[in-house]
């Protein structure tokens, strides 16, 4: 899915060469295996009719004490605004609350329109950071955070 979504979402934000580099860095079989087996990441997949994947979220509970991390949240571009992203985010927040996490953070490119989605869902910009990801590429991001309220999520 990422290989379908990224070339549609990121042109004008990062170069096609950086898109290709980051897809390999984060979504190769070896990278995904490492995320699942060694880093403890979990994935949620939104399924549509006939089991077709509509979007996905990758996250890590207990990233630090009582603190979860949303690593990935992507929905097929043609489904933007249909509630799929909301459903995925709510699933992540509920899983994190059940694990005892009370805050969640994520990185989002400073020029990514998804910032408005996260803001609508209670995230605020905590800080900016530029991360060197190798081969002359950087991620120029906002770090956004929000509180996880287990009562609000029906988990308490």
The H or E element that residue 98 is part of is: helix 84-98
Domain ranges across the chain = 2-147
Ordered per-residue pLDDT tens for the chain, 156 residues: 999 999 999 999 999 999 999 999 999 999 999 999 999 999 999 998 888 999 999 999 988 899 999 999 999 999 999 999 999 999 999 999 999 999 999 999 999 999 999 999 999 999 999 999 999 999 999 999 999 999 999 987
**What architecture does CATH give domain 2-147?**
3-Layer(aba) Sandwich (3.40)
Which residues 6+ apart lie within 8 Å of 82 measured at CB? 75
- Cβ neighbours for 124, distance < 8 A, ≥ 6 positions apart: 144, 145, 146
């Amino acid at each position: 899915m990422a290989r379908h979504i990224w070339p549609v979402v990121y042109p004008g934000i990062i170069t096609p060469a950086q898109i290709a580099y980051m897809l390999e860095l984060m979504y190769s079989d070896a990278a995904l295996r490492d995320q699942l087996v060694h880093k403890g990441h979990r994935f949620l997949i939104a399924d549509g009719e006939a089991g077709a994947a509509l979007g996905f979220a990758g996250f890590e509970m207990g990233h630090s004490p009582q603190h979860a991390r949303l690593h990935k949240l992507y929905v097929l571009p043609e489904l933007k605004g249909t509630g799929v992203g909301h459903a995925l985010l709510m699933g992540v927040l509920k899983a994190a609350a059940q694990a005892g996490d009370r805050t969640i953070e994520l990185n989002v490119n400073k020029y990514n329109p998804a910032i408005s989605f996260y803001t609508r869902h209670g995230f605020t910009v905590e800080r900016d950071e530029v991360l060197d990801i190798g081969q002359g590429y950087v991620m120029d991001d906002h770090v956004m955070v929000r509180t996880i309220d287990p009562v609000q999520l029906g988990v308490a």
